Structure 1
Amino acid sequence: MAVPPIHVPRRHTLNLEDYFAGPRDMDKHSKWPLFLQMHGSILPKMIVPLICMSAWSTCITLIYMKAHKNIAVNSILLTVLGFVVSTGLSFRGSTAYERYAEGRRFFASLVTSSQALGRVFWIHAKPLPDVDMRRQILYKISAMNLVVAYAIALKHSLRFEPYTAYQDIEHLVGHLDTFAKSATTTMPTNIGKKNFFKSVGDYLGLSFAASNPRKQLKKAAKPLGNLPLEILNHLAVTIDDLVGRGQLPVPMQQTLAYNNLAALNDAYTGCQRVLNTPLPIAYSILFQQITWLYVILLPFQMVGVLNWITIPATTVASYIILGLLFIGQEIENPFGHDVNDLPLDTYCEQIALDMDIIASHANYKPEDFFFSSENVPLWPVSAAPADTWLQRSEAKLAETIRTKPNKTFEWRRWRGEKAGDEESGKTD
């Protein structure tokens, strides 16, 4: 039974519904100053905590100012607890960003290995003389599509999206016999849909509104398998086939293919390590407790000195302290759908574009472009093309190459002086 593809949204314009959803589109540019930007800010998830802290500080201030109850405490507690809280938040932020940077590093490695495998399939794999060239071209393109499919499958795996009926991958793996394809036939039809209140709660960062990210895995009616690993198996078989048919005759080319296949697997295991090894829960709970305890005690320590100013002062202080805590929470898992998470969709699209660019390269011989009339190998010493230099003597060529450092130095100095004169003329 065919399953309709799940639309994977890509934002071209920002509307109210997805303004606080992510990841952030790296192609968008905002002219607003950073301190006024809301897209990517942690403020939406702090609205409820800040309202609670404002109400709390208002109650404490009213009790002190109107009921005349001396509930103020010595501000020395600010110093003692402040050191503990700052140390904890620093540790929380550094560990979260380390995970974020590590996730980016693994995807950079994935891009590098994908490009290398694409060149192996398209350029290094020699054509077979007794096989239809159209068949060989489609073979290579299909192999390169598997590289793209692997990157997209890894993205969905890291987001706990285990099926194949996603718009960006269905056409790439629909012909493969995988566990995920079999399980897709029993996939629930309401995946990813949220009601209004749950969406609002998610924007506001309310924990009771957050869904279990592994819900799709738990509700699967059939074994889900491991789609990235299964695609790697198909890539391994493809490389073995190319080697067995003698299309990769150079041992270094074979080593390059297998090494980059292993690098793809390393990127997968590295991302899984980041995803499945969060900060120990004891640390997370303790950081939450001491941070909230600190901001809750703030009004008691400020009301005796600031009086009514305690209310806005507590709100501002809570925004600063809780903001650092919430940012650490958001980027701890860099593979999700938060605004500040890694733009995995962009990385996968870049890999797909790289494969298309590699496949667009015609298999010219080096002589065709090295000795083209448009190649100027000795610029800026000489504007003569390569085919012109073939008509000159070897001694003339050697002399020009020998004097090129001095000539290039003089040319660069002349260009700098000319640019300076032009700039002076504009200012005058």
Structure 2
Amino acid sequence: MPKRNFTQSSLYMIFSYKGYLVRRLSIDLIWIVIPTTILCAVHEFNHVDIKMNFTVPGLLGAILGLLLVFRNNTAYDRWWEARKVLGGLVNTSRNYALQVENLLPESEHKNEIIKLIGAFPFVLKEHLRDGVVYAELDFLGEKLIKELKEWKHVPNAVNQLIQRRLRIAYDNKEITDFQFLKLIENSDELIDIMGKCERIHNTPMPSSHSYLLKTYIYVYAIIMPFGLIDNLSWWTIPAVMMIYYIAMSIVTISEEIEDPFGKDPNDLPVDRIAQNIYNNVQEIITK
């Protein structure tokens, strides 16, 4: 069995993610510690009886658990759907490259088609972020990049350029009617994949839902000390912090994975997927 370094170990992953979430939630945790500490001080030093029956916090906790499960499941469904769509992108890109390589004779437009197939994943992932990074497309050459820059919707431009070059091959009788239609089907599939990704990216969860859930968690963290303070005393502070941290961590991760095409730690490895597709396409044309 190959040895793994420390950065690949489960222990490192646990603490790295824990540290990442603590940094994200540090301000919120401070706002929870302050009122909890005040309540503990009042209870311990002034001997004021501020305890309450744990029934109310327990009931609120049960409701919170249901809300967190719902929130996590809806976000994970979006994440998993996006992963399946990107898996389809991998398969379609490979099929497309194989068919072009084996059906078209050597020519300039054939080479351009294969380059554009390899470029599509890079273009798509940045289209779902802040815009195309043309530095990633240096392999296309200045001519193709110049054509792409004339478009606002660059993934559409890639498919248009592919289909134009397939039309040239068809007009030159390099492929038959059936072969032309078969190749166009792959282009249609790329457009379909793009549309599914855009649907996931452009349809966020309602902001009111996240706002109300976060408010509920905060209110629950404020009420919870009243049910714990008589038994835990000063240990109520770390107990409340831990419960708040766990609940808000679930919400934070859910917010990240509901749009899984970004660069957050829990998003899909879109950059690696795009690079793997490009490597696969390059291997196909060099063998």
Q: Same fold (TM over 0.5)?
A: yes
Q: Which residue number in structure 2 is paired with residue 245 of structure 1?
A: 172
Contact 2:40–2:233 at 8 Å: present in 1 too? yes
Q: Which deviates the most, 143-152 or 236-245?
A: 236-245
CA distance in 1 between partners of 2:73 and 2:162 (Å): 37
1:366-420 deviations in whole A, cap 9, x for unaligned? xxxxxxxxxxxxxxxxxxxxxxxxxxxxxxxxxxxxxxxxxxxxxxxxxxxxxxx
The structure 2 residue matched to 1:157, chosen from 118, 123, 127, is: 127
Q: Greater CA radius of gyration, 1 or 2?
A: 1
CA distance in 2 between partners of 1:108 and 1:290 (Å): 37
Q: Which residue number in structure 2 is paired with residue 339 of structure 1?
A: 265
After TM superposition, give the deviation of residue 142 of structure 1 in Å: 1.7
Q: What does 1:81-160 align with in structure 2 at a 5 Å threshold?
A: 81-125=60-104, 127=105, 136=107, 138-160=108-130
After TM superposition, give the deviation of residue 31 of structure 1 in Å: 2.2
The answer to whether 1:359 aligns with 2:274 is no
Q: Which residue number in structure 1 is paired with residue 135 of structure 2?
A: 167
CA distance in 2 between partners of 1:151 and 1:87 (Å): 38
After TM superposition, give the deviation of residue 171 of structure 1 in Å: 4.4
After TM superposition, give the deviation of residue 170 of structure 1 in Å: 4.3
The residue identity in structure 1 corresponding to 2:122 is I
The residue identity in structure 2 corresponding to 1:155 is K
- Structure 1: 5+ residue runs without aligned partners? 1-27, 128-132, 183-223, 362-428
After TM superposition, give the deviation of residue 265 of structure 1 in Å: 0.3
The structure 2 residue matched to 1:316, chosen from 242, 245, 258, is: 242
Q: What does 1:19-58 align with in structure 2 at a 5 Å threshold?
A: 30-33=8-11, 36-39=14-17, 42-58=21-37
Q: Which residue number in structure 2 is paired with residue 186 of structure 1?
A: none
Contact 2:33–2:237 at 8 Å: present in 1 too? yes
RMSD: 2.3
The residue identity in structure 1 corresponding to 2:190 is L
After TM superposition, give the deviation of residue 32 of structure 1 in Å: 4.3
CA distance in 2 between partners of 1:73 and 1:272 (Å): 50
- Structure 2: 5+ residue runs without aligned partners? 1-5
The residue identity in structure 2 corresponding to 1:158 is L
1:300-352 deviations in whole A, cap 9, x for unaligned? 22112211111111112122222111111121110111111111111111111
Which structure has more helix as a fraction of its residues? 2
- Structure 1 runs (4+) deviating above 4 angstroms are 177-180
The residue identity in structure 1 corresponding to 2:172 is R
Aligned residues: 281
Q: Which residue number in structure 1 is paired with residue 251 of structure 2?
A: 325
Q: Which residue number in structure 2 is paired with residue 278 of structure 1?
A: 204
The verdict on how the C-alpha distance between 1:35 and 1:313 changes in structure 2, with shifts beyond 3 A counting, is farther
CA distance in 2 between partners of 1:109 and 1:285 (Å): 34
Q: Secondary structure at the match of 2:149?
A: helix
Identity of aligned residues (%): 26
Q: State TM-score, norm by structure 2.
A: 0.89
After TM superposition, give the deviation of residue 263 of structure 1 in Å: 0.8
Q: Secondary structure at the match of 1:285?
A: helix
